[in-house]
Chain A
Amino acid sequence: MRQVLVLEKVTKEFRTYHHYHAGLKALVLDPGQIVRHRERGRFLAINEVSFAVYGGETFGILGRNGAGKSTLLGLIAGVLRPTAGKISVHGRISPLLELGVGFTQELTGVENILINGVLLGLRRKEIEAKLDDIISFSGLGSFIDQPLKTYSSGMQIRLGFAIAIHVQPDILLVDEVLAVGDAEFQEKCFARITDLQRAGVTIVLVSHNLNTVETLCDRAVWIDKGRIVALGSPQEVVARYQSEIAHPLATQESASVSV
């Protein structure tokens, strides 16, 4: 199997920018704080993480809130730049956006498809050619010409989902979106994801729902405090995650946060 996404010792360090957010006044009155903050205000969100994702597999990223999952996804999507290490991507990446992101509530479904499709990296002509497919896939019918504010949240997710998969990504990034919506809709999402899996799309799925990871993923990684704790089959990783969340590790190194 071909590697489509490779992370080599990827590290992401954030500077905390609170000194700027305190505003101009604080900056003028106490310029020394910049230097102090530069030294103290560092936060290691991702610490030397390495793994590879193979073409066609579904790869789960598991972890608690604040473990670094979303940072990792941002790095993979190319929105964040790693402080150190290297990320190689082969193919077109498309994030499945959370509910409401990139949508304009005042505009119609069709108008939003155009905007979102282009923002996701397609040419305008490409997305126009796929318009009918997207509309029929979304199952929104005549609602597609109504402003988005008249949609239920389930309908908006359906639209977002329809756009994201018609971008024909080689790698689809999914961040927690599956947690929204009713049971029926979630089932639909799972069905679509299974379709995509069959079509050979690589999926990177971020979740803290253990069940999702176990049923959908081929492999999974558990991230905690910016480091890989476990990497392997979803059953193994989930089992370790469960047992160690119940009995917290005594060996958490202090390396990840230096405040």
Chain B
Amino acid sequence: MMIYPNFYQTWDVISVLLSKEIKMRYRGTVLGILWSLANPLAFTAVLYIAFRRVLQVNIENYPLFILSALFPWQWLSNSVGSAPMLFISNGALIKRLPFNKAALAVALVLNDMIHFCITIPLFAVFLFISGDRGPSLNWLVGIPILLVTQTSLTLAIVIVIATLNALLRDLDQLVRVLLLLLFYVTPVLYSASMVPKNLEWLLLANPFSPLMISWRALMMDNDLSPYIVVAVGHACLSLLIAIPVFRRTEWKLAELV
């Protein structure tokens, strides 16, 4: 690319796209960024009543237990859910300007990551209120590792889906269905230890499970779970698939969108 030879310029593209997304999301709303908390909190309240009170699931501190995995899940599912239309809705730009299209995906994932980061201090406050142990030093190690891992994994998935959907427009519908299925296959509402022995392979095969298990272990028990290693493995593997797919198709995007 003649015009975009350097990394710093691409970083500037990411940063303007990111600040645009952040400004756009809550423009004109009174409560602004608080809305990103409304959805998981309402969902948790419903689940608390359904599982703890009605079905009598025996998990201690169930609302926080759910939120510890639901907040990161929300980041993941928001990004992946927006992925199919990412290149298509930016078609006008892609057709006219020779910028690095991966910048669009990076801005999308970072936007949802920032919204997730806002929930971390909120979660810490909830922990204190509930009288549980507060955050420990392990958070300082675990959170950056998990943030980088989840950003990489999500970015890889977003890039592959966004690229493929430029070719096969069915993916928008397919991704919605898959996300719904994955939500129940991934231990968000239940703990990993509740999964029967003969289905444990699912926890390792589903790229989202190790991440959610690790987030929960860190946030609820201050543990650095060995599942972090599996999550990093999934992230590296996805990037190894996504980067060549993107490299080979990037220049064609202007013809497809």
Contacts and interface: CB of A to CB of B under 8 A. Distances in A.
Secondary structure dominating the interface of B: helix
Contacts, number: 89
B109 to A, nearest CB: 19
A27 B20 contact: no
Interface string A70-93: 000010011111000000010011
A89 B2 CA distance: 8
B2 A17 contact: no
Interface of A: 14, 17, 20-21, 23-25, 27, 74, 77-81, 89, 92-93, 95, 97-98, 100-102, 104, 106-107, 111, 114-115, 118-124
A25 B4 CA distance: 39
Contact of A101 (B8, B27, B93): B93
A237 B44 CA distance: 71
B255 interface: yes
Contact of A118 (B16, B167, B170, B255): B16
Interface string B81-105: 0000000000011111111000000
Interface in B111-170: 167-170
Given A24-B168, A121-B4, A107 B23 contact: yes
B20 A23 contact: no
B1 interface: yes
* Most chain B CB neighbours (cut-off 10 Å) among A27, A79, A93, A115: A79
A20 B92 CA distance: 20
A115 B24 contact: no
A45 B64 CA distance: 59
Contact of B16 (A14, A93, A101, A124): A124
Contacts of B94: 79
Contact of A23 (B12, B16, B96, B169): B169
A100 B3 CA distance: 22
B167 A17 contact: yes
A1 B99 CA distance: 30
Contacts of B170: 23-25
B198 to A, nearest CB: 32
Interface in B1-55: 1-4, 8-9, 12-13, 15-17, 20, 23-24, 27-28
